[in-house]
Structure 1
Amino acid sequence: MAIRYTMTEKAEPGVLGGGTKKWYARVIMDGEISIDDLSKQIEKFSALSEPDIRGVIIALENVIQEYLVNGKVIRMDKLGSFYPGLSSGGAATKEEFNSTFIKEAYVTYRPGQRIRDALKTATFKKTE
C-alpha cells in the first residue's frame, strides 16, 4: 500500500501578491484507526486479551498526559519520544516576561528509529 498524495499550489509567505507560486505534495489521509482497532491488531501479537490491551492503551494516554503537563520528556524506545513545547509572544526585557506571554503548550513527537526506517521504505501514489 502506498501513501496517496495530491498537489497543492502555495504562494510565498510574506510576499505581497503571493510572489512565485510553487506546487507541493499533500498527503491524502486514508482513514483513521481507533483504540479498538489498535487493540484488535495488538491482540494478534500478544498473549493479552483485547480488553486488557485497551485498558493499557488508555492508561498510557493518562500517564503521558500527566507527565507532559509536568514538563517531562517521555521516551518510549522504538516508538519514539514526546516532548512538551511552548509558543509565546516576546517581551522587551527578561524581567518583563511572565506567563501571560505564553500562548499555548503543545506536544512534539519524534519517532524512534524503527518508525523512521519504515517511512523511508514508503511508496507514493499521486491521486488527482
Structure 2
Amino acid sequence: MPIKYNVIERGQPGVTGGGTKKWYAIVANDGELTVDDLTKQIEKFSALSEADIRGVIIALENVIQDNLANGKIIRLDKLGSFYPSLSSNGAATAEEFDSTLIKSAKVNYRPGKRISNVLKTATFKKV
C-alpha cells in the first residue's frame, strides 16, 4: 500500500516574505492505530491472548518511561532505540553551568534498520 501525500506551498526559510515559493510533499496520514488495533493485529501472529499482548504493551510503556527518566537508552533490537536528550541555555564556563539552565528534556527515537529500510522501498500516491 502506498504512502499517500499532498503538496503544500512553502517559502524559503529565513527569507523575509518567504522569497521564492515552491511546492513540497507532506504525508497525508491515513488514520492511526490504537493499542486495541495493535493488539488485534499482533494476535494474528502470536499464540498470546489479547489480555497478554495488552499487558506486555502496557508494561513495556511503563519500563521505557522509568528508564528514560533515569537517563538510559532503550534498545529494542530491530524496532529501534529511544533515548533522552536535553535542551539548555549556555553558560560561559562549565563551572557556571547548573541544572537551572536546562530548558527541557525530550525523547528521541532512532528506528532500527528494518524499519528504516521499509521506507526506502515505499511507493507514493498523490491524494
TM-score by length of structure 2 reads 0.92
Structure 1 residue 29: deviation in Å? Answer: 0.8
Tell me, in whole angstroms, the C-alpha distance in 2 between the residues paired with 1:109 and 1:64.
12
In the alignment of these two chains, the number of paired residues is: 127
Structure 1 residue 113: deviation in Å? Answer: 1.1
Partner of 1:10: 10
Structure 1 residue 96: deviation in Å? Answer: 2.5
Tell me, in whole angstroms, the C-alpha distance in 2 between the residues paired with 1:94 and 1:13.
33
Give runs of aligned pairs for residues 84-99 of structure 1, distance below 5 A.
Answer: 84-99=84-99
1 or 2, which has the higher helix percentage? Answer: 2
Give runs of aligned pairs for residues 42-81 of structure 1, distance below 5 A.
Answer: 42-81=42-81
Q: Report whether the alignment pairs 1:124 with 2:92.
A: no
Tell me, in whole angstroms, the C-alpha distance in 1 between the residues paired with 2:87 and 2:42.
36
Tell me, in whole angstroms, the C-alpha distance in 2 between the residues paired with 1:67 and 1:106.
13
Structure 1 residue 102: deviation in Å? Answer: 1.6
Equivalent position amino acid for 1:21 in 2: K
Q: Report whether the alignment pairs 1:22 with 2:29.
A: no
Runs of 4+ in structure 1 displaced over 6 angstroms? none
Equivalent position amino acid for 1:18 in 2: G
Structure 1 residue 2: deviation in Å? Answer: 1.0
Q: Quick check: 59-68 or 110-119, which moved more?
A: 110-119
Partner of 2:100: 100
Equivalent position amino acid for 2:84 in 1: P
Structure 1 residue 20: deviation in Å? Answer: 2.2
Unaligned runs of 5+ in 2: none
Structure 1 residue 88: deviation in Å? Answer: 1.6
Equivalent position amino acid for 2:105 in 1: A
Q: Spell out, residue by residue over 1:27-64, the C-alpha distance to the aligned partner (whole angstroms, 9 max, x if none).
A: 01111101111111111111110111000000000000
Equivalent position amino acid for 1:42 in 2: I
Tell me, in whole angstroms, the C-alpha distance in 2 between the residues paired with 1:27 and 1:38.
21
